[in-house]
Amino acid sequence: MEDIELKISLLQTEPTFKDINLAAGKIQNLAAKAVSQKKRPNILVAPRIFSTQHINTSFDPTVELLKNTAARCRTTVISFDVFNKVYAADPNGNIIASCTKSCEAKDETMVFSVDGVCCGIAPISNLKFPEAIKQSAALGAKVLFVLGAWPKSKEIYWKLLNIVRAIENQFFIVALNQFE
């Protein structure tokens, strides 16, 4: 495999079930801490931040938080919303890629570039479907970011599927799971 030079910080936190402002504050604090490090990351990855139980289905604040965090930190930020769609926002706060659970939508951009490295994104259950993951490899991804919400009881499957998909597609996988 070729040399890949990315600095990635995983912003691991539990979802907040009732207080959206608390959840947003947690992510913003973790992001600010990550970008203040000597080896500043060029990619931040956050798990699902809010619970679906307390979100109005017509508006999900996750996407705005993602864009604002990317712009404030001047780095690429990857996360997924309460509807299980993964997004990547560039350092200017623009959405540069998105992918639904099945990645069947033809107008979605599943790959993007960070410092010359082609990256892909995949949500939750796409690990179960090799053809969904192969789409990112076919588009040139060298690194795939997989965001999950797998239950703790299926942790072994989460780990194994990430390993298998990395081997099958000959790319690196950066996986962040929010155990439920």
| Each residue's pLDDT expressed in tens, for the chain with a length of 180 residues | 567 789 999 998 776 666 777 878 888 999 999 999 999 999 999 887 665 555 555 666 778 889 999 999 999 999 887 777 889 999 999 999 988 866 554 556 689 999 999 999 987 777 888 888 888 899 999 999 998 878 889 889 999 999 999 999 999 999 988 765
Q: Is 3 part of any domain?
A: no
**CA nearest neighbour of 169 among 132, 114, 116, 123:** 132
* Count of other CB atoms within 10 angstroms of residue 31: 23
Q: Is 1 part of any domain?
A: no
Residue 151: helix, strand or coil by DSSP? coil
Distance CA 70, CA 76 (A): 6
Q: Is 138 part of any domain?
A: yes
CATH code of residue 39: 3.60.110.10
Q: Is 144 part of any domain?
A: yes
What is the total count of domains within the chain? 1
Residue 9: helix, strand or coil by DSSP? strand
